[in-house]
Structure formats: structure tokens, C-alpha cells
Amino acid sequence: MPDIDSGPKVMGDDGQFHAVDEEVDLSGTPIEAWVALLFFWALALTVFYQFFTRYVLNDSASWTEEIARYLLIATVFTGATIAVAKNNHIQVDFFYRFMPQWLSRGMSLLVDVLRIAFFAAATFLTGQMMQKLGSYKMTIIDLPMNLVYGVVMAGFAAMCLRAIWVMRVHLQRGYTVLERPGTEMTDR
């Protein structure tokens, strides 16, 4: 039976609770995370303002619904870049357990290439759509819709760059998460 006193002590000899928080280190936080956090807080403030004007002042601000929608889009597309960098989008690794190593390696390399191609195509197509929109304005606010699509295009471009970076890490490491489930992207 293990000794109960062998673990870390939080109760001191004086009978008082002693706990020390670890130092928070945000130095490894990528720029995409800060941008997503900025959009998220702008969204939170907009929704709070919407709630306040609707239920407290009983005079709803008409612009908040539209701006909240666009801020949610911006939060999603900048936040998705973080998922690409961490390489933790949804994936099926079941069949990789039964494939020969050479086929597994080839398939995972193909996944990396197709991911880059998809994000590059999405970036290009969003740019084309922005050109077609021209000077189209938002419904309530007199701002160009290309602001929203510009953020979407920037998100796709950042995802493409991060996907290239992920592929480079996979090539240097010699395996991917698909080949060895449970491994993480640690090289930043």
C-alpha cells in the first residue's frame, strides 16, 4: 500500500493550506491566438451591448446583430488557424494502423499536400469573390463587405502557411500524427 505522505504536500505542518500557482508563460502563444482572442472579446462586448440595449434600455441597437455575426466569422477563421498549427483537426487514423508503413507514410504525405492545396485554393477563391463583390456594403452598417471577406481570406492564407509549416515538421520528424496517434505538434 502506498504511503499517503509520499505525494506532494499542500497542508503544511502548521495546519494551513499551502499552494503555489505555476508561473504563466504566454511567450509560446502564436499571433493567430492573440488575433482570435481580440475578435472574441470584440464579439463578447458587442453581444453584451446588444443584451444591455435590448433588455435593460428596451431599445435594441440594430447594428449589433450584424456586427456580432461578422465578428463570429472572424473568430472562427482566425481560430481555425490555431487548429491547423496544432494539427488537431478531425482526422481518421483507424486504417493507418493496418496499412504497411510505406503506404501509411505515402497517404499521410498526400493528406499534407491536399490540405495545403485546399487552403491555397480557398484563399484564391475568396480573393476572386472579393473582386466580384466590389463595393458591396453591409446591410445596416455602411462598411464594405470586403472587410469580412478580407478576414476570411487572411484566415485561409494563414491556415495555408501553417499547413506548409506542419508538413515541414512532418518531413523532418519522419512521421505524422496519422501514423502515430497521440503525438503532438511540439516544434513551433
* Biggest CA-to-CA distance, the chain: 74
69-82 pLDDT per residue, tens: 999 999 999 999 99
39-48 pLDDT per residue, tens: 999 999 999 9
Quick one: pLDDT band at residue 165, thresholds 50, 70, 90? Answer: very high
pTM comes to 0.79
**Predicted local distance difference test score (pLDDT) of residue 37:** 95
CA distances from 33 to 69, 73, 83, 155 (A): 19, 15, 10, 12
Q: How far apart are CA 33 and CA 21, in angstroms?
A: 23
CA-only gyration radius of the chain, Å: 23
Instruction: Specify which of 94-103, 119-128, 131-140, 173-182 reaches the highest per-range mean pLDDT.
Output: 119-128
**Predicted local distance difference test score (pLDDT) of residue 35:** 94
Q: How far apart are CA 80 and CA 89, in angstroms?
A: 9
**Predicted local distance difference test score (pLDDT) of residue 161:** 96
Quick one: pLDDT band at residue 188, thresholds 50, 70, 90? Answer: very low
Residues 6 or more apart in contact with residue 74 via CB below 8 angstroms = 39, 148, 151, 152, 155
